[in-house]
Amino acid sequence: METNIFFILTTLLFLQRFGLSNNMLMPSLNVTCSERERQSLLAIKHSLTDTFNLLSTWSGVECCDWHGVGCDHRNGHVVKLDLRSQVSLETYPDGKLLKGSFQRLKYLNLSHSFPAGVVPHHLGNLSRLEYLDLSYPFVKDPNRVSGFEGLPVLDDMGWVSSLWSLRYLDLSGISIGKHIDWFHPISILPSLLTLNLVSSGIKNIPSVKFINFTSLNSLDLSFNYINSTIPVWLSNLTGLMHLYLNHNHFHGEIPYLLCNLSSLVHLDISQNMVSGPIPQSIGLLLRLEDLYLHFNQLSGNIPISMGQLSKLKSLHLSSNSFETLMPDLLCNLSSLVHLDLIENRFSGQIPACFGQLLMLEDLYLEGNELSGNIPMSLGQLSKLKNLDLSNNPLAGGVLSETYFSKLQNLNYLALSGNPLVLNFSSLWIPPFQLQTFDASFCNNGPHFPNWLQTQTHLQRLYLSNSSIIDTIPEWFENIMSHILVLDLSNNQISGKLPRFHFNNTDNVWGDGDGILSLNSNKFEGSLATFPSNVRILDLSDNLLSGHLPQTDGTMNLILEVVKLSKNRFTGSIPVHLCKVPSIYVLDLSQNKFSGRLPGCLGDLIGLGAMDVSSNTLTGVVPSSLGSLTQLVSLHFHNNKFEGNLPLSLQNLTRLITLDTGNNFLTGSIPSWIGESLLNLRILNLQSNKFTGKIPLQLCQLSALQYLNLAQNHIIGTVPHCFSNFSGMITYQEISVNPIYYYEENILAVVKGIQWDYTKTLQFLTVLDLSSNNITGEIPDVLMNLVGLYSLNLARNHLKGQIPTMIGHLSQIESLDLSMNMLSGQIPQSLTSLNSLSYLNLSFNNLSGAIPVGNQLQTLVDPYIYEGNSRLCGPPVSSSCKGNNSSYNDVGEDKGQDDDEGLWFYFGMGPGFVVGFVGLFGSLHLIRRWRVAYFQMLENVYSWLAVSILVNLARLRRTFF
């Protein structure tokens, strides 16, 4: 309502400026309106939907007294018609009606009122119009789909050129067709002062040099699709005061001619792709008060001339590519109220002269490369409300309360991601009342900050990774009345969980609110109840125990993310969770839950990730889970599920991860996995009781990057069509973790060790078929999977030779072909695997010389080749000399051996000298190496000495 009143007052002032007196626009008892115009107004009323009965006054003889109608007091003609946001037109007013009845109309406002469809051209008949507002409710989203279905459309704009008296034109939210010439009909209007075309689907803008509507003082083309350089003709609008080009696709540099607009007060080019430096001529805009250049690709230095903008109040340069020292010239902007430099690469110290910007209310310096101390002068900014210094390498040592003694208006303080120590007296009473305090990754410990008990208006508190070793203090519940976000994760906070109740009565929630993160602490005891008004609940990695609480249906549970993993919860999974349909992530892994998985979980149709791995759940996998069609990640790993995988799971077509390893599942590997789950990238069926052959349908999973069928009872051969796994050939840029607030994970045995992969999972490419009954030969086509990180075919019945093209697996780091019946020689191409760090070829029937060279020479453990009695050469003990089966033809004549030996000794001398000089020369020149080398020698000497003394002592005890 306040907005409407403000708009009305603004409109009246505007019309008064144009020569329309208040008497002309206000109803008057002395004026009798034209009967013809009265009848026309009644006709318009019949075409309206008056939901709120706002046009109840539209009756009687005197139409000048009607709501939204203004008349000329001299002749009674209607000169103003204001129906904005109050009623809805079913159809547009008839063209003849407008032309014949409202010839004196100067003001027409139908914003938010008229129907979808083509805007009628007969609006051009209102030749005396000075103010026309047809704007439609629009979503400020430049990426919305084109078409504007259900919105008003302009199929031609020629009629606009007839409105020669027009001074204000607002067509925002109306779709202007991509082939429509919108520019020229508007540009010839000589009196136009304000033009608003916000979110109108405009994709092009002419590159003409001259225009006629030089009288413009406000131009808004924001939230469109304009893909061009900033047009030069804008510099001809010398009277322009407000220019909005934000949220488009403008590119190239900011034209220096734009700085000819000496009347400019507000300039917004944010959210584009503008690059290059800010022009030096920016200093000519001496009237500029607001400059928005954020979210572009600007670079270089801040021009010195910017220090001349003494009237500048708002400067927004965040999310660009400025890479320079923090400029002192900003200290000259004495009128500055808002300064936003977030996410650039400004370096050096924060200028102490910032303390002279006494009008400053917002200072945002997050995400730069600022270093050194935080200047004490910032404490002089008594009007400061928002201070964000987070994510810089600021190393100011101890930050005490003296920095904040005069900041009585501060309500937002962000210091996170800096190596700061916050040392405030336990008796300190701050002069401010914070709404947000973020000191994550700062040293706030070891005790809980006592001064926080004075912050009774606190809404968002972030203290993760803060070195707190304490319990939650008793006073903490007193500051929870307004809390919306609480993050105390990754500390060593112990004791029992307090009762948390988040407040939502203030209706101030944002997208990031309703978060309770207490994970990675040492909380113990039970969870008494699920907190109300919490969307994100993360209590994982604590010492919590007991049964999960039941929900009685009366609680206000709006849970979207429930993460209770890595605790000690027992009992069954409560069926009451099924009554919280908002749950999107359910992670109950690594607890001690038992019993069956509730079938009602299939009612959580919005579920995107479910992880119940590493519990002791039993029974069959419920077929009702097939209803979870939004599921992307499903983990049953390490439980006691039995029976077949239900056929209904084929409905989970969005699945990226299916992890059912380490259970007692039986039957054949379902063919529907390959036929229906075509988005799978991670498939883990290891350590079950699956039988039969590998279904060829799995080869349809082209995106698969992790396939683990190990430790089952699979028979048959390795399918040749495995070469279809493009996810094991090339790196896929699409993340395997598309679930908000859930980190995808998989347990994988690589290099003989079980690892838990999380953040690096998208780079993990594994094929593991080990510990089965697979027969036949290793298909050559597997060597086309050049992106493989790990290949494990161990403990099967494979025979034949190792493929000679195995050297194509250039990315492989772990290769295990042990305990098969492989024969023949080890391919020389194995030496080209420069990334190989784990190799196991033991217990086969391999023969000949072990290849030598490159990375293979670093793998010197004899166990790699154990159980292959016919192999020879290092690192095994058998020599290849005289062995006719040697890969390197060691049966050459003795004369050649003697020549090679001679050249060997000739090369040994110079090689020794070069190596000696290289080693000791480096030790002489590089002090750090020298210290480390002699320290190593000292450690070896000490170890040998101790070992000898210990062994001598044992001998004495044994024999003496």
Closest by CA position to 254, among listed 317, 342, 178, 181? 317
**Are residues 604 and 627 in contact, defined by beta-carbon separation less than 8 angstroms?**
no
Model confidence band, residue 950 (pLDDT cutoffs 50, 70, 90)? low
Model confidence band, residue 55 (pLDDT cutoffs 50, 70, 90)? confident
> According to the 3-state scheme, what is the secondary structure of 807-838?
HHCCCCCEEECCCCEEEEECCHHHHHCCCCCE
Alpha helices in 339-475 (DSSP H): none
Stretch 756-769: mean pLDDT: 90
- Per-residue pLDDT at 880: 87
Residue type, 58: W
Structure tokens belonging to residue 395 = 């190393």
The rounded percent of the chain whose pLDDT value lies above 90 is: 61
Model confidence band, residue 3 (pLDDT cutoffs 50, 70, 90)? very low
d(CA 828, CA 849): 10
DSSP 471: B
- Per-residue pLDDT at 848: 94
DSSP 374: P
**Are residues 495 and 472 in contact, defined by beta-carbon separation less than 8 angstroms?**
yes
d(CA 854, CA 856): 6
The rounded percent of the chain whose pLDDT value lies above 70 is: 83
| pLDDT, greater one: 178 or 490 | 490
Stretch 507-523: mean pLDDT: 82
- Per-residue pLDDT at 594: 97
| Exposure string for 341-356, b = 16+ CB within 10 A, e = fewer | bbbbebbeebbeebbe
- Per-residue pLDDT at 500: 79
Q: Would you call 348 helix, strand, or coil by DSSP?
A: strand
**Are residues 548 and 570 in contact, defined by beta-carbon separation less than 8 angstroms?**
no
In terms of C-beta density within 10 A (0-12 exposed, 13-18 middle, 19 or more buried), how is residue 590 classed?
buried
H/E element, 943? helix 927-959
Stretch 246-256: mean pLDDT: 95
Q: How many CA atoms lie within 13 A of 866 on its CB side?
A: 6
Within 8 A by CB and 6+ apart from 385, the residues are 361, 362, 409, 410, 411, 412
**Does pLDDT of 893 surpass 90?**
no
- Per-residue pLDDT at 129: 94
- The dihedral formed by the CA atoms of 577, 582, 585 and 587, expressed in degrees to the nearest 10: -10
**Does pLDDT of 64 surpass 60?**
yes
**Does pLDDT of 935 surpass 70?**
no
**Are residues 527 and 548 in contact, defined by beta-carbon separation less than 8 angstroms?**
yes
d(CA 139, CA 483): 30
- Per-residue pLDDT at 934: 65
Stretch 101-121: mean pLDDT: 82
Contacts of the segment 848-853: beta carbons below 8 A, 24+ positions apart: 848/824, 848/872, 848/883, 848/885, 848/886, 848/887, 849/825, 849/873, 849/880, 849/883, 849/886, 849/887, 849/888, 849/890, 850/826, 850/874, 850/875, 850/876, 851/826, 851/827, 851/887
Closest by CA position to 698, among listed 682, 666, 674, 724? 674
- Per-residue pLDDT at 16: 35
**Are residues 633 and 610 in contact, defined by beta-carbon separation less than 8 angstroms?**
yes
Tell me the pLDDT of the chain averaged across its residues.
86
Lowest mean pLDDT among 142-151, 447-456, 614-623, 836-845: 142-151
**What residues does 196 pair with on adjacent strands?**
170, 220
According to DSSP, the β-strands at 746-750 and 753-757 are antiparallel
Model confidence band, residue 44 (pLDDT cutoffs 50, 70, 90)? confident
Annotate 484-496 with DSSP letters as a single string: SEEE--SS--EEE
**Phi, psi (rounded to 5 degrees) for 587:** -120, 105
Closest by CA position to 521, among listed 561, 460, 471? 471
Annotate 610-659 with DSSP letters as a single string: EE--SSEEEEPPPGGGGG-TT--EEE--SSEEEEPPPGGGGG-TT-SEEE
Which residue is it, tokens 């946001």? 85
Stretch 413-424: mean pLDDT: 92
**Are residues 767 and 794 in contact, defined by beta-carbon separation less than 8 angstroms?**
no
d(CA 198, CA 171): 7
- Per-residue pLDDT at 119: 84
